[in-house]
């Protein structure tokens, strides 16, 4: 029996995209016919790259994956899922804190919008990587080159060099 193509979204802020995110995309796409990386705008998070810059960076990184596309959105994630006709939301899990938070989010999204969430476990080597930490370490002059893809590292360095230093 031929099944209806399954379209999933992988929502996040991706500011910046890390090796952990890329790993989830690489393994996650195998589960679906189509995966849309959905770059959201979180008003509560400090922004390093604009949504357009993030989309552009991610597009380059997934250029070799024909079933992956990238879009930004500024509405509720479930609303974006509805607009693009996605059946599933893909999320990554790193630790028990993620499980607790994601469980609540997944239940809410299923209740209010009827959308299912599929979780993928992080690879051990990226279990501790998150974008907030990458931003903080980089802002304080630390080396994040092993946590993010090389083109993102270059963009991050350029961004920090052009930033006025805060007193
Ligand atoms: P972060 O939590 O790093 O700020 P996002 O809000 O962009 O990133 O997260 C988007 C999704 O990617 C979430 O489901 C998050 O759990 C997942 N994710 C982020 N980093 C990793 C990682 N290192 N391994 C697995 N999943 C991850």
Q: Is the peptide bond before 16 cis (omega within 30 degrees of 0)?
A: yes
Choosing from 10, 92, 137 the residue with most ligand 1 atoms within 8 A of its CB, the one to mutate for a pocket test is 92
Q: What is the mean pLDDT of each run of 10 residues along the chain (167 residues)?
A: 89 96 96 97 80 96 98 96 96 94 96 96 91 92 95 94 67
Q: Which of 13, 54, 69, 131 is catalytic?
A: 131
Nearest alpha carbon, ligand 1 atom 9: 12
Count CB neighbours of 1 within 10 A: 2
CATH fold group of domain 7-131: Rossmann fold (3.40.50)
What integer pLDDT is reported at residue 66 of this predicted model? Answer: 97
What integer pLDDT is reported at residue 166 of this predicted model? Answer: 53
Are 23 and 50 contacting, i.e. CB atoms less than 8 angstroms apart?
Answer: no
Ligand 1 is surrounded, with C-beta below 6 A, by 12-14, 18, 20-21, 24, 91-92, 94, 98, 122, 126, 129-132
Tokens of 8: 């999933």
What integer pLDDT is reported at residue 164 of this predicted model? Answer: 64
Count CB neighbours of 17 within 10 A: 26
Q: Which residues contact 50 (CB under 8 A, 6 or more apart)?
A: none
What integer pLDDT is reported at residue 165 of this predicted model? Answer: 58
Residue found by looking up tokens 């991706």 in the block: 14
Q: Which of 7, 21, 54, 91 is catalytic?
A: 21
Instruction: Write down the pTM of the prediction.
Output: 0.93
What integer pLDDT is reported at residue 161 of this predicted model? Answer: 87
Rounded to the nearest angstrom, the distance between the alpha carbon of 91 and the centre of ligand 1 is 7
What integer pLDDT is reported at residue 4 of this predicted model? Answer: 87
Tokens of 22: 């890329």
């Amino acid at each position: 029996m031929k099944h209806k193509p399954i379209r999933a979204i992988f929502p996040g802020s991706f500011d910046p995209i890390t090796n952990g995110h890329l790993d989830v995309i690489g393994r996650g796409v195998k589960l679906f016919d189509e995966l849309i990386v959905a770059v959201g705008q979180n008003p509560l998070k400090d922004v390093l790259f604009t949504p357009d810059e993030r989309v552009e960076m991610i597009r380059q990184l997934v250029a070799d994956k024909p079933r992956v596309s990238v879009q930004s959105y500024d509405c509720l994630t479930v609303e974006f899922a509805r607009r693009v006709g996605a059946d599933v939301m893909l999320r990554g899990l790193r630790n028990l804190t993620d499980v607790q938070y994601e469980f609540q989010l997944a239940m809410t999204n299923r209740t209010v919008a009827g959308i299912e969430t599929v979780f993928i476990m992080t690879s051990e080597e990226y279990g501790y990587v998150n974008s907030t930490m990458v931003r903080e370490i980089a802002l304080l002059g630390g080396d994040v080159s092993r946590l993010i893809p090389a083109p993102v590292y270059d963009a991050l360095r350029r961004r920090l060099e052009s930033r006025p230093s805060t007193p």
